[in-house]
Structure 1
């Protein structure tokens, strides 16, 4: 006889919430005949700028593209070094390599899992040009310490806030202050455009320079002529994507509030005797992009088995992220195991559990029960 757990639908670790009004607005764009960059992109940029205290915002085809173009905007290239964390999606290092610069990793703080700001100054060299901090799982890096450090050493800060839309630091929303700030609008983010991202800039001059980098370096003139004075790529967003983004923007604060409530329930229902390490219980500044407990060290070598045991109970579990300096690409640059023990330990034990706005409270209870069952299965 099939038990009640088996009858429940599969619960993924994330799922976007797209309402019918947004779907209708995407259909309107399709009917309009203007489906690439156009009025919807302009409207989304304006709405984001208003949210971020009037700062210029420019959309891009991805947060990866926004980060790479931000580096180019800062004039960073061959011979330069950029300091970042090894505990992030590999795109954070790939964009540094893409402009010909060298990624320099600094280990993470064991509590926050973000870059350890106390270790950065020891990694500085005369070639250091910028810092790329990452707000892992939507928990912000200490912006006061970060920006003070950058100011002391005349460094640009390009915030990889891909996961931090709607997060806050000291009462201010991430993106409303600081240097350059990149957000992701990928399908699994708190606000999605299916694929896409944006860069928050400091002034109109930077915004115009970013526009040229975003689209082939082209500058158009009122008489219909154009000129190209510099290299540019192809990283513009479509109006189809922007229509989704406008619909998401109407709801993102409610989405984030729901995420926080679900995260709180995880903490309330969690069986602490199982030996997992939970992330910081920050329900004010974090946007709770992901819920990421760490496996007990004794179970870390069996993470794949644990994930399969959860899947067998209808629960999807992700891994975000392995320590990226251990990837073959970055080992070729000289990075090796043992250099960043905190990031390596976290990367080997991290799990990403279901957390998205459409979840019910009972879904959290179901996940917590499944975790206890999976642990019992592995422990025999």
Structure 2
């Protein structure tokens, strides 16, 4: 019997129209930042209700430049979460500021807003929440805290393109909002990202910061008045984004349908296996706010005899790919060497040690979800402690 088809934890989807659009840009002779980038930024601005938008080479650059636009630098503190891709805190260090990690809510797995006020000091300049797997924090509470303490908010919405808060798109409200368009995101330009800003002055500064601080002065002159980098998005990437935007509604619908299947089938398999008392933690069952960028479970490691890595290997043997998003940042050597300890954020430490990302992408079938649910529960039953 042949092995079952392997299901990766994610797979980008680029249709023939996208391929044709890229080929057209390549034939045009203008492949770096040009007319397609301008069109993409304009289209994104419309998507976000007319707010200024600038695109960048990756989602890390968007956060770095957001911090610079907000005036964050040496001696400042930025409150954030320890459960994120390490870029979130690396960019804070990169501008000379200090990340201050606040523990997470065990249900949403986002920063616990109840604990933010206790972390604020006279050096605190901003809050950088992360919307894990596309689920936003309580935006009303977030901005109430920020307004009370006169803090900037830089939303790490890398995974939240298409998510909402009370019917409003993430990015259409708020302060500085950063998105990633990396290959595994709901909307992908292969690599890239965008920053939603508050006004044209911030947008102009972001433009300069992404291209060596350059200011053009007419046809024959230029000047540099700030220290910038090389973070511009190309027209090749931009045209992919334009085509992806056309497909986004169908992608979102399919992701939500797959997530519903996960909830139903995992619960069915647990009941069938007699494991209803097993503490397998599922994500927040929201079909209004989140974009279902990822479907993550928290394994009941205290109720089974193997660790997460062994669970992942068992699933791989069944033809199922998985991911880890994310271990606690405070456990990385770079951060331990600066005095951070995972014990300071115990919920994040537990979640970071136990969280498992299951496959979720629009091209998956209902049968794929059935295989995954059956495989995962079968492993949990096999290694259940007596």
Same fold? TM cut 0.5: yes
CA distance in 1, matches of 2:115, 2:103: 7
Residue 379 of structure 1 deviates from its aligned partner by 4.1
Aligned to 1:54: 50
Aligned to 1:79: 75
Q: Is the partner of 1:351 in helix, strand or coil?
A: strand
Aligned to 1:292: 296
The 5 A counterparts of 1:3-82 are 6-82=2-78
CA distance in 1, matches of 2:115, 2:136: 17
Is it true that 1:128 corresponds to 2:124 in the alignment?
A: yes
- Note if contact 2:306-2:383 (Cα within 8 Å) is conserved in structure 1: no
The 5 A counterparts of 1:309-328 are 309-328=314-333
Residue 326 of structure 1 deviates from its aligned partner by 1.0
User: C-alpha deviations, 1:299-338, integer Å up to 9, x for none?
Assistant: 4861111100000010001000001111111111211131
Aligned to 2:88: 92
Aligned to 1:278: 282
Aligned to 1:149: 145
Residue 35 of structure 1 deviates from its aligned partner by 0.7
CA distance in 2, matches of 1:35, 1:90: 31
Residue 243 of structure 1 deviates from its aligned partner by 1.1
Q: 2:207 aligns with which of 200, 208, 211?
A: 211
- Note if contact 1:85-1:106 (Cα within 8 Å) is conserved in structure 2: yes
Residue 263 of structure 1 deviates from its aligned partner by 0.3
- Note if contact 1:130-1:157 (Cα within 8 Å) is conserved in structure 2: yes
Aligned to 2:160: 164
Q: Is the partner of 1:31 in helix, strand or coil?
A: helix
Between the two proteins, the alignment pairs up a number of residues equal to 376
Q: Is the partner of 1:182 in helix, strand or coil?
A: strand
Residue 290 of structure 1 deviates from its aligned partner by 0.4
What is the root-mean-square deviation in Å for CA atoms of aligned residues?
A: 1.2
Deviates more, 1:188-197 or 1:216-225: 216-225
Deviates more, 1:227-236 or 1:366-375: 366-375
Q: Is the partner of 1:181 in helix, strand or coil?
A: strand
> Structure 2: which 5+ runs fail to align?
none
CA distance in 2, matches of 1:214, 1:55: 19
User: C-alpha deviations, 1:47-102, integer Å up to 9, x for none?
Assistant: 00000000000000111101001111111111000000000000000000000000
Q: 1:331 aligns with which of 307, 332, 336?
A: 336
Is it true that 1:194 corresponds to 2:199 in the alignment?
A: no
CA distance in 2, matches of 1:308, 1:43: 44
Residue 254 of structure 1 deviates from its aligned partner by 1.3
- Relative to structure 1, the CA distance from residue 328 to residue 301 in structure 2 (aligned partners, 3 Å threshold; closer, same or farther) is farther
Residue 373 of structure 1 deviates from its aligned partner by 2.5
- Note if contact 1:306-1:378 (Cα within 8 Å) is conserved in structure 2: no
- Note if contact 2:12-2:184 (Cα within 8 Å) is conserved in structure 1: yes
The 5 A counterparts of 1:214-363 are 214-270=210-266, 271-272=269-270, 273=275, 274-298=278-302, 299=304, 302-363=307-368
CA distance in 1, matches of 2:257, 2:130: 24
User: C-alpha deviations, 1:322-356, integer Å up to 9, x for none?
Assistant: 01111111111211131101111111110000100
